[in-house]
Amino acid sequence: MAQVKIFSGSQSVQLAEKIAAAYGTTLGDISLQKFSDGEISASFNESVRGCHVFLIQSTFPPSDNLMELMLMVDAAKRASATQVAVVVPYYGYARQDRKDKPRVAIGAKVVADAIQAAGADRLMTCDLHAGQIQGFFDIPVDHLDGSAIFVPYIKNLNLDNLIFASPDVGGLVRARTFAKRFGAELVVCDKHRARANEVASMQVIGNVEGMDVILVDDMVDTAGTITLAANLLKEKGAKSVRAIATHAVLSGPAYERVENSVLEELVVSNTIPLRQESSKIKVLSFADLFARAISNVVTHESISSLFL
């Protein structure tokens, strides 16, 4: 069996260190440098010849993170690695998954093409914004399910009148999955956007009177939708409102909005490092999940066995 080596990009070091530790190893030695003009250089400081290489890097902004990942892939291929797998806990540009109006780019497909063109043999990611993005790849895609981490946490809350909510119609399937796991009801917050990152109006479909509501989403960006939904649910008589979201993008006024909202807490993962601390934001680690998935890939075992 080929030796397994795990390396990290510059923006996912904390998560990568935890994944490597959970796998039973340490991160490999790689140099990631920038020239004065911002140009990136990647080089391995140890041999990867004949190795099964896993490169860990979330592709959140800036776009340098994606470029850095592709250079790491190219360096590994040119250094004669047997197989190069990219581990992208947060897959950026995933919201651009289709043509929803004329003359727009499908960013998720562009990213997929770039990763494959660089020479990646496999992609591992978690809670894609749209599951069909897997079809943009012609290489194996391991799409992990973050509910394996979130469900045990929710169970430990011991909430009496649990009900799940989707902050928009697009996330209905994701929220319904959680509701089925707990045998709970489901409500929907139907929103209308004036433009990207700006919600014009929202209404609740379903009854939340006296209920402990958990909003479910794949990511929180500016936190406009999730906090508006939380405030509206509270107005409709909810006893408490929490939110879970895998990817803490948290850009612009997000932290301020979360702090000033009625949310009891926002539970996220460490696929993206937080820019600042918040008394209302709790981070769960996905390191063990990714470590087990890497192990199963190496030993040719089922990935779906990791799902609930």
Q: Report whether 168 belongs to an annotated binding site.
A: yes
* Separation CA 205–CA 189 (nearest Å): 6
Q: Report whether 193 belongs to an annotated binding site.
A: yes
Q: Report whether 300 belongs to an annotated binding site.
A: no
* Separation CA 67–CA 40 (nearest Å): 8
Cβ atoms within 10 Å of 269's Cβ, excluding its own: 24
Query: Burial letters for 42-81: b for 16+ Cβ neighbours within 10 Å, e otherwise?
Result: bebeeebeebbbbbbbbbbeeebbbbbbbbbbbbbbebeb
Q: Report whether 95 belongs to an annotated binding site.
A: yes
Residue found under tokens 């479909």: 205
Q: Report whether 292 belongs to an annotated binding site.
A: no
Q: Report whether 224 belongs to an annotated binding site.
A: yes
Catalytic residue among 191, 234, 236, 280: 191
Q: Would you call the peptide bond into 140 cis, given omega within 30 degrees of 0 as the criterion? A: no
Specify burial of residue 166 (Cβ count, 10 A radius: 0-12, 13-18, 19+). buried
Q: Report whether 170 belongs to an annotated binding site.
A: no
Q: Report whether 42 belongs to an annotated binding site.
A: no
In single-letter form, the type of residue at position 195 comes to R
Q: Report whether 98 belongs to an annotated binding site.
A: no
Q: Report whether 64 belongs to an annotated binding site.
A: no
Distances (CA, A) of 207 to 7, 153, 165, 192: 48, 24, 11, 20
Q: Report whether 38 belongs to an annotated binding site.
A: yes
Q: Report whether 107 belongs to an annotated binding site.
A: no
* Separation CA 301–CA 193 (nearest Å): 43
Asked if 191 is an active-site residue, the reply is yes
Distance of CA 302 to the CA centre of its chain: 21
Q: Binding site for ATP: what residues are annotated? A: 37-39, 95-96
* Enzyme catalytic residues: 191
Q: Binding site for D-ribose 5-phosphate: what residues are annotated? A: 193, 217, 221-225
Q: Binding site: what residues are annotated? A: 37-39, 95-96, 129, 168, 193, 217, 221-225
Q: Binding site for Mg(2+): what residues are annotated? A: 129, 168
